[in-house]
Structure 1
Amino acid sequence: MSTEITKEFTFEAAHHLPSVGDAHKCSRTHGHLFRVEVTVGGEIDPIMGWIIDFADLAKAGKEVIGALDHRVLNNIPGLENPTSENLAKYLFDRLAVRIHGVTAVTVHESPTSKCTYRPGGQVARPTTVQIGVSGLSFAAAHILVFPNGEREPLHGHDYRVSVSAWIAGNGPDNAQEILRAATVDAIADLEHRVLIASKPAIGHVEVLQDVVKLVLPGDTVTLPRSDCTLIDTTSTATEALAALIAQRIADSAATTDLKVSEVSVSLLEGTQDLVKSTVKC
């Protein structure tokens, strides 16, 4: 299973493009609010349930991207011609030496214009068609437990779900509706629930008639059974949830009907932390 996480950053800077000619508006010095998405790919850690701590990605991103804030980009070595394309590669090269597994950097120069630098490009799928659904969401609470015995307090998020699937070119006309229904089914028991990993990194879970107990060294969290959904995993980190949803869709009858070869789930936790999980069917 392939998984990616993405974190978004912003900075404001001035620049001009020296090679476009005097008649082009971008030859004049001007400014933008740049949005930058940094994507990291890899295997989900079986204990932690994530690829990398979003906090570590945030620290590296602030160090590299923050250095461009309120600057004239042309004056920075390596950005003498600061197009979005060159800027995306510049950031990728500097982030990749700080964070293992960086797969792509996307620079949004405006609300409608963006550039993604991803070494290696994309694999073509000549015999399949991509379909997708978006606009789905669920609200849930969870507790993250760490191997050292520490835990986060019970807290919650809104999660926004987008799904892409690659299907046979001769699939049914209502393929998108079938995929949407499969996605709704996959997230149904996550909505307005406390999500509990049944195999936490430390301690154990007790399921009683009316309550669920998360028993940790020196600490026990007791929750109403009716509020909880138990997930057969070690963590309820966003990576684990995206992988769970992708696998549920891949295992559904809909994938057989649609002859799905690959399912990709993008799960946005809050407003900036995005995870993408892909399952081959």
Structure 2
Amino acid sequence: MDARLRGHDGSTANLSVWHRHPREGGDLDPHAHGGEMDDTERKPMFTITKQFAFSASHQLSGLEDDHPCARLHGHNYIVEVELKGASLDARGFVRDYRELGPLKRLIDDEFDHRHLNDVLGHDHPTAEQLALFFYDWAHDRWPEVSAVRVSETPKAWAEYRP
């Protein structure tokens, strides 16, 4: 079945739709119903994110003496975990946010108000390294994890996405 989407300028675009919802055995491939798929179309994907916060200090080695990150300093970090799924579970979730509680406990118990050089065991506890650490930890527990972003300031983010 095809549907048409009308743009604000009066133009139309074909949309391929399913005969049945994919969780009920519907086909995700629009070609199966005579639709055309180009390189810009993708299979449906649900994305959810959850943010966690902590405060911690760090000191980065190997930088110039006058670099501000070479000094002992701290940040109010935001960790954002992204999960993706092509379908929803019986409750309508990619994953229930409450199931991410172990990550909150890890952050609260092991990272909040700690020195990250000690926590991670090296002298390069950058936002990039934190994003990789949290991605690996979370993905080992929840395979839907697709990316982790870490912010040290409201205007700067590092992301790990395999």
The TM-score with structure 2 as length reference comes to: 0.68
How far apart are residue 61 of structure 1 and its match? Answer: 1.9
Q: Which residue of 2 aligns with 1:139?
A: none
3-state DSSP of counterpart to 1:22: coil
Summarize deviations over 1:202-231 as a string: whole Å, max 9, x none. Answer: xxxxxxxxxxxxxxxxxxxxxxxxxxxxxx
How far apart are residue 47 of structure 1 and its match? Answer: 2.4
How far apart are residue 46 of structure 1 and its match? Answer: 5.2
- Aligned 8 A contact 1:74 1:80 in 2: yes
Residues 73-112 of structure 1 aligned to structure 2 (within 5 Å): 73-112=116-155
Residues 9-20 of structure 1 aligned to structure 2 (within 5 Å): 9-20=52-63
How far apart are residue 99 of structure 1 and its match? Answer: 1.7
3-state DSSP of counterpart to 2:120: coil
% same residue: 39
For 2:127 and 2:87, the matched residues in 1 are separated by 31
Q: Please state if 1:64 is matched with 2:140.
A: no
Q: Which residue of 1 aligns with 2:13?
A: none
For 1:53 and 1:85, the matched residues in 2 are separated by 27
Structure 1's 46 and 100: CA in aligned 2 closer, same or farther, altered over 3 A?
closer
3-state DSSP of counterpart to 1:97: helix
Structure 1's 74 and 93: CA in aligned 2 closer, same or farther, altered over 3 A?
same
For 2:161 and 2:50, the matched residues in 1 are separated by 15
3-state DSSP of counterpart to 1:74: helix
Q: Which residue of 2 aligns with 1:8?
A: 51
- Aligned 8 A contact 2:89 2:95 in 1: no
How far apart are residue 78 of structure 1 and its match? Answer: 4.7
Q: Please state if 1:114 is matched with 2:157.
A: yes
Q: Structure 2: any 5+ residue segments left out of the alignment?
A: 1-43
3-state DSSP of counterpart to 1:61: helix
For 2:152 and 2:120, the matched residues in 1 are separated by 20
- State the 4+ residue runs in structure 1 displaced beyond 2 angstroms: 43-47, 63-66, 77-80
Summarize deviations over 1:5-60 as a string: whole Å, max 9, x none. Answer: 10000000000111212121110000110011001111332521111111002x13
For 1:83 and 1:75, the matched residues in 2 are separated by 13
- Aligned 8 A contact 1:78 1:90 in 2: no
Size of the aligned set, in residue pairs, is 118
For 2:106 and 2:134, the matched residues in 1 are separated by 7
- Between Structure 1 and Structure 2, which shows a larger proportion of strand residues? 1
Structure 1's 79 and 114: CA in aligned 2 closer, same or farther, altered over 3 A?
farther
How far apart are residue 101 of structure 1 and its match? Answer: 1.3
Q: Please state if 1:52 is matched with 2:95.
A: yes
3-state DSSP of counterpart to 1:85: helix
Q: Structure 1: any 5+ residue segments left out of the alignment?
A: 120-281
For 1:7 and 1:76, the matched residues in 2 are separated by 23
- Alpha-carbon RMSD: 1.4
